[in-house]
Amino acid sequence: MPRSTSCALLIVFALVAGLSAEPIHLPIFQKRSTERRLKTDYSSPQLSPRQSSDSTVSSLNAVLYYIPLDIGTPPQTVELVLTTTIADIFIVGIECDACFSAAGASIYDSSKSSSAVNKSIGNPKNATFEPIVITDAFDPITLTTWSFTDTISLGQFTALGADVFQVIETFGGVFGTPIAGFFGLAFQGLSSFNTPPFWQAISQQVSIRDMGLWFTRRGNDTLGGDPEPGGVFTFGGTNTSLYTGDIEFMPVTSNNTYWSLNLSTITVQGHSLSVTPSTSRAAIITGVDDAVWISGPPADVKAIWALVPNSSEIFGSSGTFQFPCSASVNISISFGGRSWSINADDMNLGPVNSNSDQCIGGIVYGNTTSGASVHWSFGLPFLKNVYTVLRQNPPSVGFGELSALGAGTDPQSSVSQSANPTSSTTPTGSDTSGSVSLKHAGWTVLCTTSGFVALALFLEAY
């Protein structure tokens, strides 16, 4: 039988059989940052976090949440921060001398990848590149990069010829061991290069509807030098062992940028507050320094802390509040549907200083300007209390109540105990750039495009 006929029959068999790729469940690791990973531009016209002259408050470092990713042929494994505030993939290259403060990090060497293509103009060694300023509402950063395409794999999901940006220069100290870059989960509108993010590039050829996020709670202790369990990232579905009941979805309110919702009500110590409608857009954020907080417009934040007995703004902090460490701050949030409670432990970010009986509150000033695209940011103090689902079509964010397992702290066990996570990954649609390779149940599905969709299936022995 001619090879083309054989492939055609296999394609028909696959479509009839409903071949699909199962979702993958990747452990998220966490490590407390020893330096500011992203520099915050407090003059940002979008969301400007609190500034502080208090040495204790300003030294409250972010926790890095990162996942492993393979790039190149043969694959090189790198650890990338999982962030919802940028859309691109940035990976430190061996040419970045200033990045070698990340001792022990896996550095991308494009010269060792047979599938790497440098798209930058001219001879890379002699080319002059303009710095790229990644400006989002949270943590602007300046990088100089080379534009590459290469093979990128996240579990069994592989994008051939995917866009990746190799960092050759940074300003202000960006990366720290073992972090080698960023894995963007935002929409294409936030791409510095107007290219589809990895998850959108994959889903243009294979139906990838959902991405699930769960973050473990470890209190506010200082993490050691070794990576710690941080959560679970599910690509292509959800992890049903981590939540109970139905996921409540609300439509995304931003235009192809952030995973944002309209905040409707905040309940503080049993008292309900309606937020200002004109400044109610709230972004779900991970992977930036400001994800350590919940931040919002000053008027609303003041109203929140006014309901907490004996709380006060920390002197010189411009929007960071303190309250007695012996007290519990009880907060719940609604985005127009059900109300989601935040554990009081997550509202307490630790003592203001080592000798203080006052603790730092988890809600701070955010927006101080008009015309912002987002007004609130909901980081880890909120996300540790729900199972979060980012849905591509229709664009929406969903939250679920944590199961008994999800309310625990061991993401490794949750991966092994996942119970039939939902997914839909049958080949659909067409794409004009790149290709996608999927492995499932002994089959390899290679999806390539050149004005049309061509599928080839090969039986593999495992």
Summarised one tens digit per residue, pLDDT across range 147-179 is 889 999 998 888 999 988 888 776 545 556 678
Closest to 170 in 3D by CA, of 107, 92, 79: 92
pLDDT at 360 over 60: yes
Higher pLDDT pick, 188 / 439 = 188
Confidence category of residue 321, pLDDT binned at 50, 70, 90: very high
Cβ within 8 Å of residue 42, ≥6 positions away: 48, 49, 51
Higher pLDDT pick, 181 / 340 = 340
pTM score of the predicted model: 0.79
pLDDT at 416 over 50: no
pLDDT at 423 over 80: no
pLDDT at 400 over 90: yes
How far apart CA 163 and CA 150 sit, in angstroms, is 7
Closest to 134 in 3D by CA, of 107, 165, 162: 165
Name the least confident of 12-26, 188-202, 422-436.
422-436
What is the arithmetic mean of pLDDT over 310-324?
A: 91
The answer to whether 160 and 436 are in contact (CB under 8 A) is yes
What tokens were used for 271? 């008292």
Percent of residues, the chain, with pLDDT higher than 90: 42
What's at 201, amino acid-wise?
A
What single DSSP character describes residue 220? B
Higher pLDDT pick, 61 / 397 = 397
Summarised one tens digit per residue, pLDDT across range 264-305 is 999 999 999 989 888 999 999 998 777 889 999 999 999 999
Confidence category of residue 55, pLDDT binned at 50, 70, 90: very low
Question: Maximum Cα–Cα distance for the chain, whole Å?
Answer: 82
Strands (E), 191-317: 210-215, 228-235, 243-251, 260-262, 265-268, 271-274, 281-284, 294-296, 312-313
pLDDT value at residue 60: 56
pLDDT at 318 over 50: yes
What single DSSP character describes residue 442? T
Name the least confident of 80-94, 126-140, 368-382, 396-410.
126-140
Higher pLDDT pick, 364 / 447 = 364
pLDDT value at residue 308: 98
pLDDT at 419 over 90: no
What tokens were used for 353? 């200083």
For residue 445, count CB atoms less than 10 angstroms from its CB and return exposed for 0-12, middle for 13-18, buried for 19 or more.
buried
Confidence category of residue 98, pLDDT binned at 50, 70, 90: low
pLDDT value at residue 217: 78
Q: Which CATH superfamily is domain 3-205 in?
A: Acid Proteases (2.40.70.10)
The answer to whether 198 and 89 are in contact (CB under 8 A) is yes
Confidence category of residue 77, pLDDT binned at 50, 70, 90: very high
pLDDT value at residue 59: 42
pLDDT at 239 over 90: yes
Summarised one tens digit per residue, pLDDT across range 101-153 is 444 567 888 889 999 998 875 444 333 444 455 544 455 566 677 888 999 99
Domain ranges, ordered by start, for the chain: 3-205
Our CA dihedral for 335, 336, 337, 342, rounded to 10 degrees, sits at: 30
pLDDT value at residue 105: 61
Q: For all residues of the chain together, what is the average pLDDT?
A: 74
pLDDT at 410 over 60: no
What is the arithmetic mean of pLDDT over 302-315?
A: 95
Percent of residues, the chain, with pLDDT higher than 70: 65
pLDDT at 432 over 50: no
pLDDT value at residue 458: 30
Higher pLDDT pick, 227 / 72 = 72
Confidence category of residue 420, pLDDT binned at 50, 70, 90: very low
Summarised one tens digit per residue, pLDDT across range 9-45 is 222 223 333 335 689 999 999 887 654 333 232 223 3
